[in-house]
Amino acid sequence: MEDMYTSSFYPFKTEEERWAYWAEHISLNRYDTPATQLYLDLFKLAKRKTYFVITTNVDHQFYKAGFPVEKIFAVQGDYGFFQCAKGCHSKLYYNEDIVKDMLAQTVECKIPMKLVPHCPVCGGLMDVNLRKDNYFVEDEAWYAASNRYTAFVRETTDKQVVYLELGVGFNTPGIIRLPFEQMIYQNPNAILIRINSHQPHGAKENSSKTISFSEDMTKVLAAL
């Protein structure tokens, strides 16, 4: 494992080991880390405006910082929920209690077999609600958030809009980065503020409407 992201794809040999790892991962990122200063600063900046958040992050930081649920579309899932590993039904299961049990009962990097979660419908394995294969569950709340985001985009297509893009690279550019470029291209009143340490530049067609920062985003946002 080289980082938290690649750890999501690690091929654990047993479910007992896999869940012992995931309990630590989820607990650290979702339940034990409060809103960071970056997100608090971002909320301070956003709440004076008409805004909407689209994010591929799955750590719940936007919610923790005070952004209301109805203004967030977390496209790629949330550490705080389990789903059927085969997506046999579209319900998500809040996992705080079971994750705490797993942590408390982990011995030598394994949880006891009896704590390995199983799908209440098909009896198969469960997974964290993260988009990493074709079985990602999009529940009712996901579709509602998606519709609110689409409506917001539609209402603002020709308005004076700032697209503030934070740390979006080329892992999944089709969700935020490229649609933003396209909307900015089509709207003469739009501006892109891209904060990105590695790929800060905009498409050349949008260069006159792009403001790029490659500095540490905590510093940029605090200054804004």
User: Judged by CB, which is closer to Zn ion: 54, or 128?
Assistant: 128
The DSSP output letter for 70 is G
User: Judged by CB, which is closer to Zn ion: 61, or 83?
Assistant: 83
Paired with 194 in beta bridges are: 165, 212
Backbone angles phi, psi at 154, to 5 degrees: -65, -45
User: Judged by CB, which is closer to Zn ion: 73, or 82?
Assistant: 82
User: Judged by CB, which is closer to Zn ion: 70, or 140?
Assistant: 140
* Residue 6: Cβ-neighbour burial (10 angstroms; 0-12, 13-18, 19+): exposed
CA–CA gap between residue 189 and residue 45 (Å, rounded) = 20
Residue with structure tokens 């990602």? 136
Contact by Cβ (8 Å): 40, 65: yes
Q: At its nearest, how many Å lie between Zn ion and the CB of residue 161?
A: 41
Q: At its nearest, how many Å lie between Zn ion and the CB of residue 143?
A: 19
User: Judged by CB, which is closer to Zn ion: 124, or 169?
Assistant: 124
User: Judged by CB, which is closer to Zn ion: 43, or 93?
Assistant: 93
Count the residues in the chain.
224
CA distances to 38, 39, 162, 165 from 194, in Å: 15, 16, 10, 5
Enumerate residues 6+ apart whose C-beta is below 8 A from 104: none
CA–CA gap between residue 137 and residue 162 (Å, rounded) = 31
Contact residues for Zn ion (CB under 5 A)? 84, 88, 119, 121-122, 124
